Amino acid sequence: MDPLKSIIGPKVAGVRVVPIVTKIVALFSVFLLASNFASNYINLVLNQGEQVRLANRILVKDLAGVYGFASTQNEIFVFNKNLEEAVKAIEQSAAKDLSGQHSTAFGVRKDGSYLFWSSKDAKPARFDDADALKTMTASGSPEGKLSFRQGGATYFGVYKYNDKWDAYLVRAEEQKEFNEQTQAIFVRVSVIILIMTAVCLAVGAFLVQFILRFVSRMTQSIMKMQTGQKLELIDLKGAPNDDVTYLGASFNQLSSTIDNLMSIFRRFVTKDIAQRAYSEREVRLEGTTRQLTILFSDIKGFTFMTETLGTDIIDVLNLHYQRAIKKIHDENGIVGSIIGDALLAVFGTLSAGTTNKSHEALKAAYLIQDVAAELRQDIAAQRELIVKRRGALTDAEERVYRAVLLEVGVGIDGGEVFYGNIGSYERMTNTVIGDNVNSASRLEGLTRIYRVPVVVSEAIYKEVEGCCEGFRFVELDKVQVKGKTEGKRIYWPVRTQFVDEAMEQEFRHFEAGLAEYYGGDWKKAATLWKPVTLPLIEIFRDRIEGANAPENWNGIWAMTTK
């Protein structure tokens, strides 16, 4: 998995699914950093306050030394009248206590002029902080704390009035320089906090990831199910006995229940309806007109089977349908309905536009025939075993044997039909409605008359011929089935793998005779059909034997039965 996606999470339906571990780690990182930095800042402020208090004590002590020395120098000045020497002595004495780059000690008169200036900084022209000067002169107290600005910098300190010099003596430190050391400590501590937080978060993330590892596994499994639209069980092997595992176990139980319901649901609805119900979470009463291919399959001799087998016929039908329906699904068909011995399948709903739906229906038709043939072979093999063991079957057993030898006819037609759900929201069914549906059923009935396994319409012939390989179409007839007013051409699709030269020769003889038959020259048709041994030829020989084509013959044979 992409490392970035494991942190920020993948997108599902355009929405980012952020892992809960990432949220927990992010939340705790904010809290840890905020609390640690806040604690560090509060500690800084408290320390600075305490340092200022201690610094003021030191400044008071320093100022007392400057004050005493200045008083002494005033006495010397009164004696020798040398002001410059006295001021210089005071400055040199005060400079001994100045440790900072911007530490200062000075004397300022009430008019703002300096008595003396002791500092590594250059001496200003005058003391220009009027508010601070006013504080000293108007406070009524000869000494106190003082904050002032000088040369663009902020200072804090203490002052005391010296009446001998008639000036205020000040001992001060620059605020920024005084705080530099504590701020440097703050930065170093902050870096340590960041490193420790990162280490703690890494360890915490690992521990949280380990504790919640099954949350990630559950999320990935559910995303996989959502993508594949299939419910599965979450692998909880090795999971601890906590509420997360209980949640996963509950999901597995629910998943099993829903999966069972979906399996039952799929057995009663078509595959496309089940897929739509899963993705859209509902089944609506709706339908559309579509171009589809309809396959109708029916079991021949069903009345004899039911009379012989009774309720046991259900087992035979299930055995046949179990195999036949799978073959239909393999060719992208869906089973629309099963009514006793009849099965209706629709092609073109699952692979619309991607494959030839009529070709898929043809392949499914012969796979159904193969299924019936395999079942007959299995039953015949069982009969042989019984005969070898007992010598013969009883009359009743022979009747049962004939009853279970399934033979299936298949009719296929295609065209525009209505496909969708009808009924009510209390009870609905999926259906396909259209003339082509009825036509497929009629074509299946013709398999008994023409004695071929599969009969298709001209629409199927045109859609497959020249497009798909595997089938050789033999035109059977032009018929007007019962209930219809128009005649249509019908075809027998034969799998090319079983067409040898002899069979192809028979097909050509039959088609040549069929052309004369359509034209009304039945005698010539009979002559051309003499070499033909195909079972379907018998119906034509019965029609034309000893007869000529009727008046107004148009080549269409009208069926009187379904």
Q: Which helix (H) or strand (E) holds 462?
A: helix 458-464
Q: Residue 14: what pLDDT?
A: 59
Distance CA 107, CA 157 (A): 13
> What is the β-pairing status of strands 408-423 and 428-433?
antiparallel
What is the 3 state secondary structure string of 476-525? EEEEECCCCCCCEEEEEEEEHHHCCHHHHHHHHHHHHHHHHHHHCCHHHH
Q: Can you say whether the dihedral through the CA atoms of 134, 140, 144, 145 is positive or negative?
A: negative
Q: Residue 413: what pLDDT?
A: 95
The three-class DSSP label of residue 558 is strand
CATH 3.30.450.20 given to domain 23-183: yes
Give the relative orientation of helices 243-268 and 213-228 as an angle to the nearest 10 degrees: 10
Output the CATH code of domain 285-433.
Answer: 3.30.70.1230
Q: Residue 483: what pLDDT?
A: 64
**Length of the chain measured in residues:** 562
In 3D, which of 410, 411, 294, 428 has the Cα closest to residue 349? 294
> Going by C-beta distance under 8 Å and a sequence separation of 6 or more, which residues neighbour residue 245?
214, 236, 239
Annotated domain spans of the chain: 23-183, 217-268, 285-433, 469-562
Q: Residue 419: what pLDDT?
A: 83
Cβ 348 vs Cβ 328: under 8 Å: no
Give the long-range contacts of residues 304-308, CB within 8 A, separation 24 or more.
304/402, 304/403, 305/341, 305/403, 305/404, 308/399, 308/400, 308/402, 308/403
Give the long-range contacts of residues 261-264, CB within 8 A, separation 24 or more.
262/231
Q: Residue 263: what pLDDT?
A: 66
Q: Count the Cβ atoms, other than its own, within 10 Å of residue 362.
A: 28
Q: Residue 420: what pLDDT?
A: 78
Cα torsion through 117, 122, 126, 128, rounded to 10: -110
Q: Residue 19: what pLDDT?
A: 62
Tokens of residue 479, six digits = 């018929």
19-48 per-residue burial string, b: 16 or more CB within 10 A, e: under 16: bebbebbeebbeebbeebbeebeeebeeeb
Cβ 22 vs Cβ 9: under 8 Å: yes
Distance CA 544, CA 525 (A): 9
**Residue-by-residue pLDDT tens, the chain, 562 positions:** 566 655 665 655 555 556 666 667 666 677 767 777 677 667 666 665 666 676 677 788 888 888 898 888 888 888 888 888 988 998 899 888 888 888 999 999 988 899 999 999 888 989 988 888 888 888 667 888 889 998 889 998 999 999 899 899 999 988 888 877 777 777 787 788 788 878 877 777 777 776 666 677 777 777 777 666 667 777 777 777 666 666 777 777 777 776 676 666 555 555 665 666 555 555 555 677 889 999 999 999 888 989 898 888 999 999 999 999 999 999 999 898 888 889 999 999 887 667 899 999 999 999 999 999 999 999 999 999 989 988 888 888 889 989 888 999 999 999 998 887 777 766 667 778 889 999 999 999 999 999 999 999 999 999 999 888 899 999 999 998 766 667 899 999 999 999 999 999 999 999 999 999 999 999 999 999 999 999 999 999 999 987 888 888 888 888 766 5
In 3D, which of 412, 164, 173 has the Cα closest to residue 294? 412
Q: Can you say whether the dihedral through the CA atoms of 88, 91, 92, 93 is positive or negative?
A: positive
Distance CA 21, CA 212 (A): 7
Q: Residue 192: what pLDDT?
A: 84
The three-class DSSP label of residue 241 is coil
CA distances from 90 to 174, 206, 219, 293, 418 (A): 21, 67, 81, 117, 114
Q: Do domains 23-183 and 285-433 have the same CATH topology?
A: no
Give the long-range contacts of residues 126-134, CB within 8 A, separation 24 or more.
133/108
Q: Residue 273: what pLDDT?
A: 59
Q: Residue 107: what pLDDT?
A: 92
